[in-house]
Amino acid sequence: MKNVCRINRVELLLILLFLPSALIAGVEVQYDWSGGPGVTGPVIWWFDDFSTQSQTSWTILPSGKLLLGVSTISHVINSNMGGCHYAFPADMNGDGDMDVLAQSTHKYDVIWFENDGNGEGWDTHVVSDNYPLHRCAYPGDLDGDGDMDVAGANSSSSNRGVEWWRNDDGVGDSWTRFYIDDQYGSPGFVCCADINNDDTLDVIAPEGNNLTHIAWWESSTTPPDSLWEKHEVSSSSRSGWELFPVDLDQDGDMDIMSACSWYDGLSFWENTDGLGLSWTEHSIGNETGVRSVHAADIDGDGDFDVVCATWEEKQASWFENLDGSCTSWEEHILLSNSEWPRGVHAADVTDDGFVDILVAVWEDNQLFLYRNLDGTGMEWSVHLLKSGWWFQDVDVADFNDDGFIDILAGATDAVEVSWHEISGYSSGWLESSILDVGGYPEWDSIAWTAEKPAGTDLFFQIKSSNDWEDMGAWCDTIFEPGSLVGYIDSTHRYIQYRVGMTTETRFGTPILDEVRFYWSSMGIEGGSVAEEFVITAIPNPSAGGVSIIVPSLYAEDVEIFVYDLSGKVVRILSERNGSTFIWDGRDSSGHEAPTGTYIIRGVVEDRSATVRFVKL
């Protein structure tokens, strides 16, 4: 619907451009800020961009609503471990603080970092060293003795397989290594869950490197050692990356979500008999290169939806479980055209009761928060939490014991293990582009549509001028829609607004849907002898330059602006030959302007005229 409105609005503005100035009663609207900052102006209408901002953000679905941003404090856990594919939060020493378990890609270590309780100090403890190509280490109480053990996936040719380490002293300083399966082909991921409903943890892993199996193992001894019984989930899931065990169909037993690089893509494996001995595959999406998978109730309807990152298709999506049966799914794309999204995690990070989505992007070195604004998964804002690190994995936990969820990230370069403390900004602002109405109007009023939850506020300031390079000072703050009388000069040609936002709560924010400015034309008084002011572009269309001809009476004083259809000024023409201005088809930087339609506007005194020109 918004695209339809935008088309109608552009058509209306083009019609208004060609009406005589005395007939125009104007309104200018901005309802989309998703184009981002950098356009100072002047522009002939507000599109989806603006001049500058601080601590604000905007929605992406639907596009463009304005709201307060999210602040991030990043904390380094380790930056010299040689790369990390996965990091998991767990209380490894039983002291009540959330520690971190990770694997070193290039230094061949499995290590855990002891939290000092505030998330500021992290002592390193070695679980295992000198075992090449540990791809994943996952925490779980595998022997049921009340402390945290470790399951591991090793993809090296000499030590490949699935293994586990027993926490011998219960505080994570002494470990014994056992093989679970030393013939299992190049697993890149491992996790734990109770697959067969016997109240003990089992181990699950996919085969990597173009192999095809997903399997789970249950211990054959109590307590477990190296004797484990293997059960096959799939023999056709080529190049498995990541698994997520969850009771997706909510029938009381543990199912498995799988992310594979080929063929299967994104699948739900239904634990048909409840014992893990019979499995039925349900395809959720046929995307290739699925790298990460997670599940949560994104739309608040009581069933599980699925989140995934797809590196080959360069996107992150969530799949809506349409009828709760886990057989009918609709994809909603959040992130696209991104270089290698590698990790996703769904959790209520913003403490509003709605499930948000975190995305780790590897080659673009970015960590994103997608905030679920309305709890239905249909309205999102996006926040870049951190850039510059090669993010591979993302998880959540409370690391500083403040009662709020923090974000854990693993990366293969730069800072390999980090946690990120987030909060909403208490205030922020945005400045629009400078608007050129092309004449000398009588400014009437300002109106806006916004949501203001309790504890939040939203307000405007305006400045206007007849010289866009000197806009003057901001007017007094406007807290309610209404008349502009007393705030700005009623006859100024250029106008700019600034919107401010505040909140008294941690993640509370007002949301601005649109802002409108109304004016009427002053018209032309007397002047019956005055020559009509029109401009002409010849030739039109043209693949080269174009001559803009103005009435000779106004040639010395007229200003000629060339705009693209987004309203951005492409060129201001100053050199003339008599009453003719020449545009050579280049922008203000001297670069050839793209082919397309341009608006050429002439402005003199209280008159303006436009002509549409097509550049071939």
String of DSSP letters for 76-125: EEES-SS--S-EEEE-SSSSSS-EEEEE-TTT--EEEEEE-SSSS-EEEE
Which domains, and CATH codes, for the chain? 26-65+442-521 (no CATH), 94-237 (2.120.10.10), 270-422 (2.120.10.10), 536-615 (2.60.40.10)
Q: Residue-wise over 7-38: b if at least 16 C-beta within 10 A, else e?
A: eeeeeebeebbeeebeebebebbbbbbbeebe
Nearest to residue 168, comparing CAs of 147, 138, 187?
147
* Token code pair at residue 132: 């090449």
* Token code pair at residue 85: 């594919």
pLDDT in tens, 206-247: 987 767 889 999 999 988 999 999 999 998 877 778 999 999
Residue 250 identity (one-letter amino acid)? Q
| Residue found under tokens 């002898």 | 529
Banded pLDDT at 609 (limits 50, 70, 90): confident
Coil, strand or helix at 324: coil
Peptide bond into 20 cis (omega under 30): no
pLDDT of residue 313: 81
pLDDT in tens, 16-61: 444 443 334 578 899 999 888 999 999 988 989 999 999 999 888 7
Compute the distance between CA of residue 83 and CA of residue 411 in angstroms, rounded to an integer: 6
pLDDT in tens, 417-474: 999 999 989 999 999 999 998 777 888 899 999 999 999 999 999 999 999 999 999 9
| Residue found under tokens 């069933």 | 303
pLDDT of residue 301: 96
Q: Are 274 and 252 within 8 A, CB to CB?
A: yes
Q: Are 436 and 466 within 8 A, CB to CB?
A: no
Coil, strand or helix at 132: coil
Coil, strand or helix at 43: strand
| Residue found under tokens 């007849």 | 466
pLDDT in tens, 295-312: 999 999 999 999 999 987
Q: E-strand spans in 509-595? A: 511-521, 536-538, 546-549, 559-564, 569-573, 576-577, 580-583
Asked whether the predicted pLDDT for residue 605 surpasses 80, the reply is no
pLDDT of residue 263: 62
Separate counts of helices (H) and strands (E) for the chain:
1, 47
pLDDT in tens, 551-589: 888 888 888 999 887 778 899 998 888 889 999 999 988
pLDDT of residue 157: 62
Asked whether the predicted pLDDT for residue 255 surpasses 80, the reply is yes
Q: Are 125 and 116 within 8 A, CB to CB?
A: no
Neighbour tally for 473: CB within 10 Å = 6
* DSSP secondary structure letter of residue 4: H
- Dihedral angle sign, alpha carbons of residues 387, 392, 396, 401: negative
Q: Angle at Cα 577 formed by Cα 576 and Cα 582, nearest 5°?
A: 55
Q: E-strand spans in 207-328? A: 214-219, 228-234, 240-246, 255-260, 266-271, 279-285, 290-296, 305-310, 315-321
* DSSP secondary structure letter of residue 434: P
Nearest to residue 104, comparing CAs of 420, 418, 419, 416?
416
* DSSP secondary structure letter of residue 586: B
Asked whether the predicted pLDDT for residue 399 surpasses 90, the reply is yes
Residue 335 identity (one-letter amino acid)? L
For 131, phi and psi rounded to 5 degrees?
-115, 110
pLDDT in tens, 263-304: 668 999 999 999 999 999 999 987 778 899 999 999 999 999
Segment 349-357 long-range contacts (CB within 8 Å, at least 24 positions apart): 349/396, 349/405, 349/407, 349/422, 350/70, 350/422, 350/424, 350/507, 351/404, 351/405, 351/506, 351/507, 352/507, 354/300, 355/296, 355/297, 355/298, 355/300, 357/298, 357/307, 357/316, 357/318
Compute the distance between CA of residue 273 and CA of residue 294 in angstroms, rounded to an integer: 23
Q: What is the DSSP string of 381-431?
A: EEEEEEESS-EEEEEEE-SSSSSS-EEEEEESSSS-EEEEEEEE-SEEEEE
pLDDT in tens, 85-126: 999 999 999 999 999 999 887 777 899 999 999 999 999 999
Q: What percentage of the chain reaches a pLDDT higher than 90?
A: 60
Cβ neighbourhood burial of 429 (10 Å; 0-12, 13-18, 19+): middle
Q: Are 568 and 39 within 8 A, CB to CB?
A: yes
pLDDT of residue 106: 73
Asked whether the predicted pLDDT for residue 6 surpasses 50, the reply is no
pTM (2 decimals)? 0.80
pLDDT of residue 568: 81
